[in-house]
Structure 1
Amino acid sequence: MTGTQSKPLSPAELALLFKDRYQHSPDGVWAAPGRVNLIGEHTDYNEGFVLPFAIDRIAQVAVRLRPDRKVRLISSLAERKQVSVDLDQLHPGTMNGWTAYPLGVAWVLQQRGISVPGFDLYLDSSVPSGAGLSSSAAIECAVALALNDLTGAGLSREELVLVGQRAENEVVGAPTGILDQSASLLATEGHAVFLDCRSRAAEAVPLDLARHHLRMLVIDTKVSHAHASGGYAARRASCELGAEVCGVPALRDLSPADLPEAAGLLDEETFRRVRHVVTENARVAETVSRLATTGPASIGDLLDASHASMRDDFEISCPELDLAVGTARGNGALGARMTGGGFGGSAIAVIDVAAEATVRQAVLSAFAEADYARPDIFAVSPGAGARRVV
Structure 2
Amino acid sequence: MSTASEVATHVPLAGQALTVTADAAVRPDTSPDPAYPALGAATALLHAYRTGSRFLATPTRTLLGHGTRAEVPHDDRPLPVRVAEALAAARADGHGTPLVLGAVPFDHHAPAALAVPAELRTGPALASDPMIALPAERPDPVDWGIRQVPAPDAYAAGVADAVDRMWQGEFSKVVLARTLELTAPGPLDLPGMVDRLARRDPSGYTFALPVGPDRTLLGASPELLVSRRGTQVVANPLAGSTPRGADLAEDVRRAAALLESAKDLHEHAVVVDAVYTALAPFCRDLVVPERPTLVRTATMWHLSSTVTATLIDPTTSALELACALHPTPAVCGTPTALARRVIADTEPFDRGYFTGMVGWGDADGDGEWVVTIRCAEAEANRLRLYAGAGVVAASQPQAETEETGAKFRTFLSAVGAEL
Q: TM range, normalised to the smaller chain?
A: under 0.3
TM-score (norm 1): 0.26
TM-score (norm 2): 0.24
Q: Which has the higher strand share?
A: 2
